[in-house]
């Protein structure tokens, strides 16, 4: 989940510096939320992918 925290911080920084507008920042955050790993490796199985989605739904991923 550190990846998502870093990405949110980067989007916030870009918005604060005026590199992207606030509207673009909202869209970027929405796209980031939509990212869910694809179950293609032996480490990220379909079961792991489903648990990841459940955790995000339960925690209300912001």
pLDDT digits (tens, 9 = 90+) for 3-61: 667 888 999 999 999 999 999 999 998 888 777 666 566 667 788 878 877 877 655 54
Helix segments in 1-62, DSSP class H: 2-17, 22-34, 46-59
Backbone angles phi and psi of 19, in degrees to 5? -70, -40
The whole-number pLDDT of residue 52 equals 78
Give the model's pLDDT for residue 13: 95
pLDDT of residue 24: 96
pLDDT at 32 (0 to 100): 82
Instruction: State pTM to two decimals.
Output: 0.53
């Amino acid at each position: 989940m550190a990846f998502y925290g870093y990405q949110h911080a980067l989007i916030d920084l870009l918005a604060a510096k005026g590199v992207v507008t606030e509207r673009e920042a909202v869209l970027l955050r929405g796209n980031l939320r939509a990212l869910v790993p694809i179950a293609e490796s032996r480490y990220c199985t379909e079961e792991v992918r489903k648990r990841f989605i459940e955790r995000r739904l339960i925690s209300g991923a912001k």
